[in-house]
Amino acid sequence: MKRVQFEHSPIPYLFVAPQIIIIVIFFLWPAGQAVYQSFLLEDAFGLSSRFVWFRNYSDTIFSRAWLQAFNFTIIFSMLVTFLSLGLALLLAVKANEVIRGASTYKTMLMWAYAIAPPVAGLMGNLMFNPLIGDLYSLMNAIGFDFDHKLQAADASFVVVLISVWKQVSVNFIFFLAGLQGIPKSVNEASILDCKSSFRRFWTITFPLLAPTTFFLMVINITYAFFETFGIIDTTTQGAPGGATTTLVFKVFQDGFRGADIGGSSAQSVVLMLLVLGLTVIQFRFIEKKVHY
């Protein structure tokens, strides 16, 4: 076999250069710094520094607070992902069937997309304020002994509710676009074959939406892991008893508030590996079931 040699032009490299530079500056370089710092134990001002092998990692992984945050993060991201995907899918399917005033419905449902997580958090915090919050009063009025300042389950409910509410509209937009991308002829053909709209949805529509769902799942897990920081920070701040502390929030608490640079670097490296692993799993196992 003779190798074919093509003339290389430098122009393609030029075109991808901006993207590469951005990745290097905003991802590779800081990530490298984090890995480097995670092996050092130093005072906050960087005046004394010592190489400590894996002490930062062992202090992290074996601490009760980190494990608590780890467990919460897993449960929290599962809940947020499935609830916001499920609700958005339901809303998208229903909104897609609406004929009169369709654009009004759709606009209203997309509304919350423009709201940043910290703003959603602040609004939620106000609504759940024990002194003036309407939702707080409502929860107690309908018989719950609701106290998110002290009860872990109630506090989790608050952060999940706000995180899902914020994310539903994003998912809704994608699902709606996905639904509209399904050819009419396929739907019409299926109506002839099957009377039950419920079955039609699960056998025809849902599989055709799979690429969208898969994409959204990846996006939503990342959202639940990282972007919900703004919601946690403006509502519970990890309370009560650390029950709503996510891993990202803990990195922030230890690194940015507590000035423990080595410890929080180790935590971010672990978090990075975790998300990396999760993404690999998603692409290796779940994507196989997706037909494009």
Partner 1 sequence: MKFLTLLTAGMMTAAIPAAAQTDIQWWHAMGGRLGEVVEEIAVKYNASQDTYNLVPTYKGGYEDTMTAGIAAFRAKQQPNIIQIFDAGAATIINAKGATIPVADLMANFNSADYIEGVRYFYADSDDKMIGMPFNASTPLLYFNKDILAEVGIDGPPATWEEFEAMAPKLKDAGYQALAQSHSPWIFSENFHSRHNLQLATSNNGYDSTDVKILYNNDAMKMHWGKVKEWLDADYYGFYGRAWGDNQDAFVQKKVAMWLGSSGSFGGLAKSAEFEFGAAELPYWKSVTDEPYGTFIGGAALFAMSGKPAEENAGVADFMAFLTSPEMQYFWHKETGYVPITNAAYELAKADGYYERTPDAEVGITQLTRRGGEWTKGYRLGFYVQIREVMYNQYENIFSGSSTVDEAFEAMEKESNALLDRFNASMN
| CA distance readout (Å), 200 to 99, 174, 191, 212 | 20, 20, 8, 18
CB of 113 to partner 1, least distance (A): 28
- Is-cis flag, bond preceding 240, omega within 30? yes
Please state, in angstroms and rounded to a whole number, the distance separating the CA atoms of residues 249 and 194. Answer: 49
Three-class secondary structure of residue 51 per DSSP: strand
Could you write out the three-class secondary structure of 77-94? HHHHHHHHHHHHHHHHHH
The smaller minimum CB distance to partner 1, of residues 85 and 254, is found at 254
CB of 23 to partner 1, least distance (A): 23
The smaller minimum CB distance to partner 1, of residues 40 and 173, is found at 40
Name the token pair of 20: 């590469």
**Can you give the binding site for partner 1, defined by CB under 8 A?**
41-48, 50, 52, 55, 59, 63-65, 129-131, 149-152, 237-242, 253-254, 256-260, 262-263
CB of 156 to partner 1, least distance (A): 13
* Helix (H) or strand (E) run with residue 42 in it: strand 40-42
The smaller minimum CB distance to partner 1, of residues 50 and 199, is found at 50
The smaller minimum CB distance to partner 1, of residues 12 and 46, is found at 46
CB of 139 to partner 1, least distance (A): 15
The smaller minimum CB distance to partner 1, of residues 2 and 257, is found at 257
> What residues pair up with 50 in beta bridges, in sequence order?
41
Length of the chain: 292
CB of 207 to partner 1, least distance (A): 45
